[in-house]
Structure 1
Amino acid sequence: MIQPKSQASFALVLMLGAQAVFSQSGFTLYNATYLDITLGSGCINALAARITCDSYVQNFTELEYRGSLQDTALTDSVCTSACSTSLKVYFNDVTTRCNGKTLDDSVPNRLGGYLWAGYNETCVKYINPKRYCNDIIANFTTVADYKKMPRDEHCHASHIRRIALMQSSPYSIYDGYYKELLTHIYSQYPGAKGPTDIPPPLIKLLPIEAPYCISGKRYTTKKGDTCETIANATSVSSAAVYTGNQDLVPNCLDIDPGISVCVPLPCATYRLKPTDTCASVEVSLSFEPGRLRRYNDHLNYDCSNLQTATSFWGRILCVSPQGGTYTAVPRPLAGPPNDAPLADGYTRTAIPPPADAKVAPGTTLLCGKWHVVSAGRDTCSRICVQAGIEASLFRRVNPSLAGLAGEACTRALRVQSALCVGPTYSWNMTASASESS
Structure 2
Amino acid sequence: MASILKLAALSLLVGAGAFRIYEAEDLEGYDVSAACVSALSADITCNPYIRSFMQPSYRGSLGNVTFTDQICVGTCSGSLRRWFNSVSKDCEGETLGSSNAVPMRYGGNIWAGWNETCIKDPKTKKYCNDIIDEFSEPEDGEDMLREELCHICYQRRLAIMQSSQYSIYNEYYKEELERVYKTCGGSGPTEILPPVKPKEKKPEFCLTGEYYTTKEGDTCDSISKASGVSGALLYIGNQDAILNCLEVPADLKLCLPTTCETYYVKPGDTCFSIERTLGIRMDSIYKYNSWVDRDCTNLQVGTEFYGRSVCISPQGSKDTIAAVSEGSTIKHKFSSGNGPAVLRTDPPKDAKVAEGTTLMCGEWHTVGKSDTCNGIYKNYGIEDKLMYAINPSLNEKDCDKSLAPGTALCVAPVSGWDSSK
Structure 1 length normalisation: TM-score? 0.40
Structure 2 length normalisation: TM-score? 0.41
Quick check: which has more Rg, 1 or 2? Answer: 2
